[in-house]
Chain A
Amino acid sequence: MAIPMNADGQVAVAFWVGICVTAMSLALLAVVLVLRQLAQRRERNHLRATAFWKQLLGEAMRAPPAQAPALPWRDMTGFMDAWNELHDAPGGADNAGMRAVAERIGLAPKLERMLDRGSFHDRVMAIIAIGHLRSASSFDRLTELVGDASPIISISAARAMMRIDAARAVQKVVPQIEARHDWVDGGIAQMLHEAGPDAIRAELGAAVLRANDDVAPRLVRFLAGISREAATPVIGRILAEPHDEHLVSTCLQVMSELADLDKVRPLLTHPRWHVRMHAAAAIGRLGGADDAAALEPLLADPQWWVRYRTAQALEHLFRGDAARLERLRDAQEDRYARDIVTQVMAERALGETR
């Protein structure tokens, strides 16, 4: 049998492959070293600019300046860092001195230019900076960005809009909260918290009632997070109607209205364990000693979490009466019921020593 290929040919191919990959490796190494140098230079310039503008803006916060130096384009990233950081610091929001500096250096058009020309990171920083500037002229530009494919760009734009004009922004932002599952819940909560309940409650409450059962649990949580009062009528309506058990569970977790307890008690026998668990916890939170009898059978529930939350609920209803809880435990025939009450009693005893 012959050798499948001319041996010299193989060697030549191997040799040239070696030459090519070695050249590529060396070229890549050179690129790595050059990139590092460029990055370090950029970093030095950025730190210098950040330090300079942080000091200047810090002074302006205390006493509005009569004049301000020009803001060169190369300082923009450092300026935005300083600007955003100081606004997030205590006393930084709505500071007259910083607004005066922004006006003197013509900040709004510069930030809009950054939206067009900057890298991803710089664009996001510019959006945040526009929000802090509360530049009404940029509102329409931000409206376009709320629909951006990137969740970071879009949620940052939404947050900036809420800062500029919450009443106007809420009509654009709430539908996005419903539609966009790629927005991080914590980020939405932060944005709503900043806007405050008055700006949000009506629009968000209406959104909860019109949303389908997949989306509604998130919205209920946001609504209860910004205003328990605003959430109460919505939760009442949901509990009064048949709904998806996840939505019911969410309502049980955030409910705070005593009057709704009548709608909760029947849920103690719900076929889904997480509904029973949250119902027991809600009764423990809001109920009275009379509810103990309804909770007691759940101490022997097949699900550990139902037993645990029920035992905690009972402990809460007994207002820390350890003797009563002990009597309840000793009266249980089910071993698991006794064990779980023992655990909750031990937790309470530990908690008292903490």
Chain B
Amino acid sequence: MSIPPEVATFLLWLQWGFLAYFICINVVYLGLNFISMFAILRYVREHGAGFRIKNFADYQPPVSIVVPAHNEERTIIATVRSLLRLGYPTFEVVVVNDGSTDRTLQAVVDEFGLVEFPEAYRSRLPTQPVERIFASPNNGRVRVVDKRNGGKADALNAGINTARYPLFCVVDADCILQQDSLARVVQPFLEDSSMIAAGGVIRIVNGCKVKDGLLSEVDLPDRALPLVQTMEYLRAFLFGRLGWSPLNALLIISGAFGVFYKERVIAAGGYKSDLVGEDMEMVVRLHDRMRAEKRRYRIAFVPDPICWTEVPSDLRSLYSQRVRWQQGLAESLFGNWRLMFRRNGGAVGWVAYPFMLLFECIGPVIEVLGYAAVIVLGLCGMVSAEAFVAFLFASVGLGVLLSVNALMLEEISFHLYPRPGQQLKLFLVAVLENFGYRQMMSLFRVIGLLRWMGRLRSRAKWGHMRRSADWHDEPGQAIAPQGPAGSPAAS
């Protein structure tokens, strides 16, 4: 097969572009690794369990936990029960039933003996109509908002309207927490009065043991797809996010578990209901608003593993999740483009935003084009086997180095996977994911971007994910094959 010399030359120059891109992205990632290393060492040093300064209950701010639920009949009770077991002095659980078509509402009402309650509802954020509010005579901590279906963002806004306390915590109905999860994620608010949001590390519950709705034993998944995602999450959270936090440039707080200062979110207009990635968009918008108003603020990231979530173990769910995440990313960035290179944008406007745009949002397109160019050049005999292998070797090597760095960060911090066998397994995954999985993820993300560009989505809907719930501890409580999709976890 032969191609015109101009095209060939163009392709070769394009390859140089890809090489430059490849060098840049790896340099930035290594830089983030470096920052993360210091951040995590400092965090571990200052939050050692042996001398943790106990907080008087009076000084721990009360928190409203908002649980948006749509057709969660099978899990919602276990979720609320596990939330009620959290070790935190003052909190309430606000379940928002977003027009479920199953018995979600009835299940919670029956379980907690709720009664309809004449609450003077404040509609500070516009939402679909709220039909009823329920409260519990037996447990003052549980309330339920029953509203017409409007999507997850709409449900969150209704939850914020109902929340009593100055901080609200968003928890996905399928998340597994630890007893001290809330205390840990609220800690940044105690340490810095300018804190407006905080998120934590999301880990993978596949393969773990769960008892009474709380995590009891950590292990790696047996199946390949969740195992690869474990490595992905380690990388994404331990340097993809932790690296940005000290620079106050964190653009993502996972919608699965995060705490926000309520008044700031309301001032920013609440969650946007017409978006797929409402959680990320909210954080980007908070940055934008605070920068525009020239207010002192911080958005922090807690490196503790405080929330555990099930990841897709089948390709279809994974595809749909990644497509949604990429759409969400594009929505968040392009919807708040004023943040980029804002005069007082700081690290978030001048570094994090351009990085996310260039490497995370558009990056998959460049990566896929790179693969295509290599194939075309190879078919034309313009790439030798030696060159192909050498560049693949360098690319895979750098990918593995970043993954092993994440393992290193994990080792110096929480060592949740202490057995040498577990570490070797993760190392093997770090190598193998470069042969197929990584390329597939790039392709999924490109499809997500195309869907965003083509406006193929209609109104943002609840995501669906097939769940195996093999970690679940309560027979008869297996999780139904649907639920809210998580939020961007892999950076």
Contact = CB atoms under 8 A, between A and B. Distances in A.
Contact of B427 (A29, A40, A155): A29
Contact of A184 (B9, B190, B411): B190
A32 B423 contact: yes
Nearest to B393: A18
Contacts of B404: 25, 28-29, 32
A339 interface: yes
Contact of B397 (A22, A182, A185): A22
A19 to B, nearest CB: 8
B9 A1 contact: yes
A151 B401 CA distance: 35
A53 interface: no
A308 B122 CA distance: 11
Interface stretch (A120-128, A165-173, A201-209): A120-128
Interface stretch (B51-59, B101-109, B324-332, B435-443): B51-59
B433 to A, nearest CB: 14
A184 B254 CA distance: 26
A33 B420 contact: yes
B223 interface: no
Contacts of A225: 56, 58
B46 A152 contact: yes
A19 B397 CA distance: 8
Contacts of B407: 28-29, 32
A55 interface: no
Interface in A237-283: none
Contact of A17 (B118, B138, B191, B397): B397
Interface string B119-147: 11010000000000001111010000000
Q: Of B13, B48, B390, which is in contact with the most chain A CB atoms at under 10 Å from its CB? A: B390
Interface stretch (A7-15, A97-105, A133-141, A312-320): A7-15
A152 B60 CA distance: 18
B372 to A, nearest CB: 19
A297 interface: no
A293 interface: no
B412 A35 contact: yes
Secondary structure class of chain A's binding surface, majority of residues: helix
A353 B136 CA distance: 10
Interface string B384-405: 1011001101101110110011
Contact of A36 (B9, B55, B423, B427): B423
A304 B120 contact: yes
A40 B137 contact: no
B394 A308 contact: no
Given A150-B46, A343-B118, A10 B387 contact: yes
Interface in B339-390: 384, 386-387, 390
Contacts of B138: 354
A25 B50 contact: no
Interface in A128-180: 128, 150-152, 155-156
A309 B314 CA distance: 52
Interface residues of A, number: 62
A190 B53 contact: yes
A89 to B, nearest CB: 14
Interface in A48-77: none
Contact of B390 (A15, A32, A185): A15
Contacts of A24: 401
B402 to A, nearest CB: 9
A181 B193 CA distance: 9
A186 B56 contact: yes
Interface in A310-354: 336, 339-340, 342-343, 346-347, 350-351, 353-354
Contacts of B423: 29, 32-33, 36
B54 A187 contact: yes
B15 to A, nearest CB: 9
A39 interface: yes
B420 A36 contact: yes
Given A21-B397, A40-B418, A187 B387 contact: no
B11 to A, nearest CB: 11
A323 B16 CA distance: 83
A36 B12 contact: no
B137 A28 contact: no
A125 B412 CA distance: 20
B143 to A, nearest CB: 11
A189 B115 CA distance: 39
Interface string B1-32: 00000000100110010000000000000000
A56 B59 CA distance: 36
Nearest to A304: B122
A4 interface: yes
B393 A189 contact: no
Contacts of A11: 384, 386-387, 390-391
A81 interface: yes
Contacts of A125: 50-51
Interface in B411-439: 411-412, 415, 418, 420, 423, 427
Contact of A120 (B45, B56, B140): B45
A193 interface: yes
A25 to B, nearest CB: 5
Given A35-B411, A187-B54, A121 B45 contact: yes
A300 B370 CA distance: 65
Contacts of B48: 120-121, 124
B322 to A, nearest CB: 26
A31 interface: yes
Contact of A25 (B9, B118, B391, B400): B400
Contacts of A340: 120
Contacts of B118: 339, 342-343, 346
A193 B51 contact: no
Contacts of B137: 350, 353-354
Contacts of A190: 53-56
Contact of B117 (A19, A184, A350): A350
B158 to A, nearest CB: 15
A4 B117 contact: no
12 contacts: A4-B12, A22-B393, A31-B408, A81-B50, A84-B50, A151-B46, A185-B55, A186-B58, A186-B60, A307-B120, A339-B120, A342-B120
Report, nearest first, the 4 A-B pairs whose CB atoms are least far apart. A186-B55, A18-B393, A186-B59, A21-B397
Interface of A: 1, 3-4, 7, 10-12, 14-15, 17-22, 24-25, 28-29, 31-33, 35-36, 39-40, 81, 84, 120-121, 124-125, 128, 150-152, 155-156, 181-182, 184-187, 189-190, 193, 225, 304, 307-308, 336, 339-340, 342-343, 346-347, 350-351, 353-354
Given A7-B384, A25-B400, A347-B135, 15 more contacts: A3-B9, A4-B12, A11-B390, A17-B397, A21-B397, A22-B400, A28-B404, A29-B427, A33-B420, A35-B412, A81-B50, A187-B55, A190-B54, A350-B117, A350-B135
